[in-house]
Structure 1
Amino acid sequence: MNNNISHYINKACRILVIPAALLSLGSCTKALEETPYSFYSPGNFYKNESDAKIAMNGVYSALNTWEMYQQPFWNLTVLDDDHVSGADWFLGTSGAGNPQGYWGVDGPWVGCYTIIGRANTVLENVGKLETDIDAEIKQRILGECYFLRGWAYFQLVQLYGGVPIRTMTLSEDPERNRPRASVEEVYAAIIADFKKAETMLFPAGHAKAGELGRVTRGLAKGMLAKTYLTMASGAATGNVSVRGGQDNGYYTYAKNIVAGYENIDSKHYAELARDKAMELILDNEYSLYDSWKELWAKGSRNRREHMWEVQSMTGTAFMNNLHNYFSALSTFGRGATWFTNHHYLDYEDADLRVLDGVVHNYATNTGTKYFYPSWQAAIYKTINGVTYNNNGTTDDRAYVIKYADVSDPTLANSDAYFPLMRYSEIYLIYAEAANEANDGPTTEAYTYLKKVRDRAHATEAPAGMDKEQFRSFVIAERAREFALEGVRRFDLMRWGIYLQVMNKIGTGQNNISKVRAPRNLLLPIPLSEINSNQSIPGNNPGW
């Protein structure tokens, strides 16, 4: 029996056409409209536990749409950092600092507000149910809504800065014109939602936690810790050292306080992040996989280390083209996205994240055989009597295995899962936060950094680092651990070094432009939102 949430979302969508507040797409206002489809409306749909579950699945389903993780969300985030390279035809828009040239540029705004609108509808209507629903299931469903709404606002505030806060549907609050809240106000709303979710959700594995793929209590704690850390780092001062530039040297940058974070107490939020991460660690709810290969196998999805993933299911509408763009084998011949040679050189030779996690020998869909990297030809050029090719330039492509294990790799769309939070990030959140809160690394900060490096078979981190050295090391470790998982861009942004790091490169591998302007610090607000919301007088700076 398939107990993955994708199965139930797909089944629910076949059973019933539910209200437009659960299914509509468009601008913020459009996503929140409640015009009923067919004869269903919130008033006559929400009658029992089954209805509540179907509606809740409609909130989740917004993650796997053409506004979110079927492409736009990861296209606008994963492709925009210092370590990514790829085909110029694919990275020539958002990957080159020109998100408006990408057809899905409005996707994150529309998709996140769709999640918010659907969550508000479920909160208001399931909250009224008193009969024909298990009280604990009702509590869990409400907790899921609070979490998903908080998660959507967390994405919005990072990508757009201050945004309108809507915690009610238009039937409860008919005011369509909502001004942008401040960054601090948005974070207050996010924290409130995650805290509510934490008290209402069940831990992973609980009998009433629901199918695999649903959010859990531990995930709410993890996202709280990540939110606190984002606030702390955005408001922090000092320096960060980063390996990069044209020569892949080490450069130290004066950290900028991120706009909107000026009045945030950096040390206080670092303490909150540290304590919340440790609380989750002590819960023993999750654990790391021992093997990097096993971590990315189909059978490991939604288990142990994978705290939350975007679900997918072969043979349904809930598929994506992650495999096709990120893997060595593709309908394009080879995938369109890989990480750079410079980033590859930031791993130790025995690090499993490149030894096992990068594809060193592969064949295209036409049978042409390649190896990577060109400078390790003695290891990878000839394997079991078979010779592989590499021209030393455009053939140097570090393809990862993270999205490769799918049901049918010969198809453009497949059932790849996208990781939204892994347990290894909790260890690194703790290490980073403890360092910032203590004004230098503690023994425990080293301990949890070591757990991540031990799994990778990397050597121990240098002893005796000061605060800024440890800070820089952890940021680099996050880049090694989460390559092409959509983490690096947000790390550069929250530490206020995005422009410096990108512009130090200029033109990157495969002639991909890394030149960025101040306007690239935020995405443009969709024109449809500006035109329909009279309380937003203009766009983000530069757009």
Structure 2
Amino acid sequence: MKKIASIFTLFLIIIAATIFTQSCTDYLEKPPSVDITVDSVYNNTVNADKALADAYRGIPYTFPYDWSNRNSVYAALFDELTDIATEREVSWGGALNWYRGNISINNYITPAGTDDQRAKEQWFPDYYVNIRKALLVVSNVDRVPDADDAYKKRVKGEARMIAALNYYHMFKNYGSVPFVGHAVGVTEDIYAPRRPLKVFMDSLLNMLDQCVNDLPSTIPPLSQYGRLTKAAALGTIARVYWFAASPLFNSSTPAYPYPSSDPNKQSHDSLICFMQEDPSLWVKAADACKAAIDEAERAGFSLLETGDYGDDFHNDYHNLFTSNERGRPETIIGSHLYYSNRPHTESWDVFYYFFRPNSWKKGVITHNLVEMYDMKETGLPQSDPSSGYNPRKPYTGLDPRFYETVVHHGSRYSGNEFRFDVESPFWINNSGRSTGYLMRKFHPRNRNEKNLQFQPVLRLADLYLMYAECLNEAYGPSNNEIYDYVGKVRARAGMPNIPRYSDKEELRERILKERAVELALEDSRYYDLRRWKRSDIYSTTIWGVKITDNKDGYLDLEKFDYPLTTLGQKRVWNDYWYYFPFPRAEVMKGYGLVQNPGWDDDNIEAVPR
């Protein structure tokens, strides 16, 4: 079992959430020789705090962590399914099924040919386990005799916010899902059907509005950093509107409609899109982003800035994703996984640690991402003749974020220099499979195999770029605030601002590129491409580079299709992949959980119970 780290105070546990276990025992399950009832759990604030801490474990953690489920697509960073990263190994693994177009309902969630219930519970059913734990706290905290009204209000806000985060994750993955806003009692029907997407979204926004009313702006002292506050609720409202305004949902027809043979086609289509385009959603999304930004800044959240774009910047930007600071002061919502007393075969390191030549080295960076980094001095793309880019010194003078995201030929780590040229072990031993790059982001300066792995869920920089995107879509590229907020993100890395645009579509592409650079490997790119229905990028050519080091300070780069064409790998895309599948067994229970189209069209909807 994965174990929680030894932590001395309760809310250090909360700060270190989210911690997952491989069992899904009931929250109030009776331990041996101990009588636990709702009354005994909520008989004082100490025990109530423990219940809240347990609920905090349910903040979704979406980075891969379970080696035993390696053949599922969930054993990869979702950004590895896009143009910015890939898998080094091409002979096994869930991502391979994605690249080849072999994803099905049988291997999307579990390894092909198996029925691994634990793997299934990592996703759809576990969301509801998390929601129930949180809503039990909401329902019962009023019982605490020594708690004042302020305490009860805050705890309800935190617990309800945890439930809302789980609903938001399902919203962006599945569309509409069954919504229950309270802890279901023993005499109530525990099942609810899917409702139209607009109805589900309104229910989620109502829940988040309650969180805004109940949550404080800050929870002092500083040791409480990491707990959910008003900015988290407003930021999630902004994300709901932002995702809803995007073309995947904001359309008159789904990206992949239900089949014409479906007798309930129209009502089923309404589960995965709004059935009409509503441009005003972009205005609502922009307003929600600004409200979240204003609250976050009032509460003390800020971009991590040093003012020094040398070692200080590199150290601090690096620590934003790796240190025990847990993203302070920029991270509004964060999630953690801690491995204690586990063999390396189940840790983040066996997947992503790049230093050992025999590690798996998932999360291989593509040349597609490398080409997105502008030149530091001019702020221009590498492809611009005026940028100052030297193809013989391809890694000199790039955006400083490049060096904290990517391991490239000549990078140094723990006192060692990396080489990816044709004479290096990385090229020879891996039969040329290296793209020429590895993943640096999220790796501390020195590494072992028992780690606290941090996942940023919502950063202030993300909110700034969301706001810029929404302003462009709502008001067009002449809006001055677009450049103000993109400029804030670039300025903290010492980068010049982007130029002004006259074309909305061109500026949209520029903002998506900025998001790919700033939020690389945080699973943001995957969802950006989903929102915008960018099948052209999902199926684009993946580039690596063959490097010849001339030993005179100059390099020769030769781009090649990655993986090598001799391995027969060419990425494909199917539009029904825009929506996750529900477990077939859950659909067949017959309570109204309608399967998403394309995955199991012979079993779209079971006979009602």
Q: Is the pair's TM-score, using the shorter chain for normalization, greater than 0.5? A: yes
Q: Is the contact between residue 358 and residue 398 of structure 1 (CA under 8 Å) also seen in structure 2?
A: yes
1: distance between equivalents of 2:513 and 2:444?
A: 27
Task: Specify the alignment match of 2:86 in structure 1.
Answer: 85
Further displaced range: 474-483 or 263-272: 263-272
Task: Specify the alignment match of 2:580 in structure 1.
Answer: 523
Superposed displacement of residue 165, structure 1: 1.0
Question: 1:488 aligned to 2:488?
Answer: no
User: Which of 112, 115, 119 is matched with 2:127 structurally?
Assistant: 112
Superposed displacement of residue 356, structure 1: 3.4
Sort the Cα spacing of 1:458 and 1:364 in 2 relative to 1 into closer, same or farther, 3 A: closer
Question: 1:454 aligned to 2:488?
Answer: no
1: distance between equivalents of 2:160 and 2:289?
A: 20
Question: 1:358 aligned to 2:372?
Answer: no
Task: Specify the alignment match of 1:399 in structure 2.
Answer: 438
Sort the Cα spacing of 1:403 and 1:156 in 2 relative to 1 into closer, same or farther, 3 A: same
Task: Specify the alignment match of 1:311 in structure 2.
Answer: 336
Q: Is the contact between residue 9 and residue 54 of structure 1 (CA under 8 Å) also seen in structure 2?
A: no
The normalised TM-score by structure 2 is 0.71
Task: Specify the alignment match of 1:139 in structure 2.
Answer: 153
SS at match of 1:515: coil
2: distance between equivalents of 1:299 and 1:195?
A: 31
Sort the Cα spacing of 1:529 and 1:4 in 2 relative to 1 into closer, same or farther, 3 A: same
* 1:181-196 matches, cutoff 5 A: 181-196=195-210
The count of corresponding residues between Structure 1 and Structure 2 is 495
Larger Rg: 2
Sort the Cα spacing of 1:229 and 1:35 in 2 relative to 1 into closer, same or farther, 3 A: same
Compute the RMSD of aligned alpha carbons.
3.9
Sort the Cα spacing of 1:74 and 1:325 in 2 relative to 1 into closer, same or farther, 3 A: same
* 1:25-424 matches, cutoff 5 A: 36=30, 38=32, 39-63=35-59, 70-71=65-66, 75=76, 77-86=78-87, 87-88=89-90, 89-90=92-93, 91-93=95-97, 98=103, 100-101=106-107, 102-103=110-111, 104=119, 107-126=122-141, 128-129=142-143, 131-171=145-185, 174-204=188-218, 206-207=219-220, 211-234=224-247, 235=249, 260-263=272-275, 266-283=278-295, 284=297, 285-290=300-305, 291-297=313-319, 298-313=323-338, 315=340, 321-329=347-355, 332-333=358-359, 335-349=361-375, 350-360=398-408, 361=410, 370-371=418-419, 374=421, 390=427, 393-405=432-444, 409-411=447-449, 413-424=450-461
SS at match of 1:62: coil
1: distance between equivalents of 2:587 and 2:522?
A: 31
Further displaced range: 397-406 or 431-440: 397-406
Q: Is the contact between residue 163 and residue 186 of structure 1 (CA under 8 Å) also seen in structure 2?
A: yes
1: distance between equivalents of 2:22 and 2:273?
A: 33
Further displaced range: 521-530 or 293-302: 293-302
Superposed displacement of residue 444, structure 1: 0.7
Task: Specify the alignment match of 1:384 in structure 2.
Answer: none
1: distance between equivalents of 2:137 and 2:99?
A: 36
Sort the Cα spacing of 1:526 and 1:420 in 2 relative to 1 into closer, same or farther, 3 A: same
SS at match of 1:444: helix
Task: Specify the alignment match of 1:445 in structure 2.
Answer: 482
Q: Is the contact between residue 440 and residue 467 of structure 1 (CA under 8 Å) also seen in structure 2?
A: yes
Sort the Cα spacing of 1:415 and 1:463 in 2 relative to 1 into closer, same or farther, 3 A: same
Further displaced range: 501-510 or 111-120: 501-510
Sort the Cα spacing of 1:495 and 1:186 in 2 relative to 1 into closer, same or farther, 3 A: same
Deviations 1:384-430 (A, max 9, x none): xxx98656942334333322118x7231x421211111110111011
1: distance between equivalents of 2:144 and 2:448?
A: 49
2: distance between equivalents of 1:370 and 1:68?
A: 26
2: distance between equivalents of 1:299 and 1:24?
A: 24
User: Which of 486, 501, 515 is matched with 2:537 structurally?
Assistant: 501
Further displaced range: 388-397 or 41-50: 388-397
Sort the Cα spacing of 1:424 and 1:473 in 2 relative to 1 into closer, same or farther, 3 A: same
Q: Is the contact between residue 324 and residue 332 of structure 1 (CA under 8 Å) also seen in structure 2?
A: no
Deviations 1:41-74 (A, max 9, x none): 3343221211221111111223478x97645867
Task: Specify the alignment match of 1:510 in structure 2.
Answer: 563
Sort the Cα spacing of 1:9 and 1:223 in 2 relative to 1 into closer, same or farther, 3 A: closer
Deviations 1:182-239 (A, max 9, x none): 22222112212222112222224x327972222121121111111111111135579x
Superposed displacement of residue 454, structure 1: 2.0
Q: Is the contact between residue 12 and residue 54 of structure 1 (CA under 8 Å) also seen in structure 2?
A: no
Superposed displacement of residue 364, structure 1: 10
2: distance between equivalents of 1:272 and 1:74?
A: 35
Superposed displacement of residue 332, structure 1: 4.3
SS at match of 1:483: coil
SS at match of 2:123: helix
Deviations 1:413-456 (A, max 9, x none): 42121111111011101101111111334111111111112223
1: distance between equivalents of 2:177 and 2:26?
A: 15
Identity %: 19
Superposed displacement of residue 106, structure 1: 5.1
Sort the Cα spacing of 1:357 and 1:77 in 2 relative to 1 into closer, same or farther, 3 A: closer
Q: Is the contact between residue 96 and residue 515 of structure 1 (CA under 8 Å) also seen in structure 2?
A: yes
1:176 aligned partner, one-letter code: I
2: distance between equivalents of 1:76 and 1:96?
A: 17
Superposed displacement of residue 85, structure 1: 0.7
More helix by share: 1
The normalised TM-score by structure 1 is 0.79
Q: Is the contact between residue 370 and residue 388 of structure 1 (CA under 8 Å) also seen in structure 2?
A: no
2: distance between equivalents of 1:478 and 1:170?
A: 40
1:410 aligned partner, one-letter code: N
1: distance between equivalents of 2:18 and 2:597?
A: 38
Superposed displacement of residue 25, structure 1: 5.8
Structure 1: which 5+ runs fail to align? Answer: 14-21, 239-256, 382-386
Further displaced range: 509-518 or 414-423: 509-518
Superposed displacement of residue 305, structure 1: 1.1
